[in-house]
Amino acid sequence: MKHDTDAEELLESFSPKPPITGLKERVLRGAAEKAFARRVLTPAWRWALAGSSVLVLLISLADGWTSTAGLNRLNALLEVPEPGSISLEKAVEKEMAAYREALPDLDKSLLERLQMTLLEEKRVAEIHREPSRLEEAFYEN
């Protein structure tokens, strides 16, 4: 083990030489150059990314707009009531409100009968309404 200590002591008789002039600057400059050269987002890529993001946004907006327009056209062809259009019951209720306002002294049972009659009329009218253009086209062909 004495010899082991000798080898260690011999090594310990050496010490680091003073720093090499300019080494730090060269190393840090080289590292900075590598970092610059290997950037993921070079200016060209940055522009390309921004451009494609705008394009994707425009395509999404256009798609939304065209699909809404297409859906409206399809609904119009099929005569599906548009969202917000009132149902038969609501239409009758609206008419009844007008009656109540115009004839406040009307009997309650009479009002109920009137409401039933109006509802019935509207249902009959709905059943006997004109066939839609799509149905017409179907029967014509």
Partner 1 sequence: MKPLDISKLYDQFGEAMYRYLAVKLGSPDDAEDVLQEVFYRLGRYSFRLRFIRDLRAFVFRVARNEANRYLRRTIRNEQAARSATGLTESFRQTYAALEEGPDWAIAEALAQIPAAQREIIILKVLEGMTLREIAAVNGESVNTVASRYRYGIEKLRALLEDSR
* Interaction site with partner 1 (CB under 8 A): 3-4, 6-8, 10-17, 19-20, 23-24, 26-28, 30-32, 34-35, 38
Q: Which is nearer to partner 1, 30 or 70 (CB)?
A: 30
Q: Please give the distance of CA 73 from its chain centroid, rounded to a whole number.
A: 22
Taking phi over 0 as left and psi of -120 to 50 as alpha, with beta for the rest, 17 belongs to beta
The tokens for 110 are 């009479």
Q: Which residues have CB under 8 Å from 41's CB, separation 6+?
A: 49
Contact 88, 119 (CB under 8 A): yes
Q: Which is nearer to partner 1, 11 or 102 (CB)?
A: 11
Nearest distance in Å: CB 40, partner 1: 11
Q: Which residue number, 37 or 127, has a Cβ lying nearer to partner 1?
A: 37
CB of 41 to partner 1, least distance (A): 14
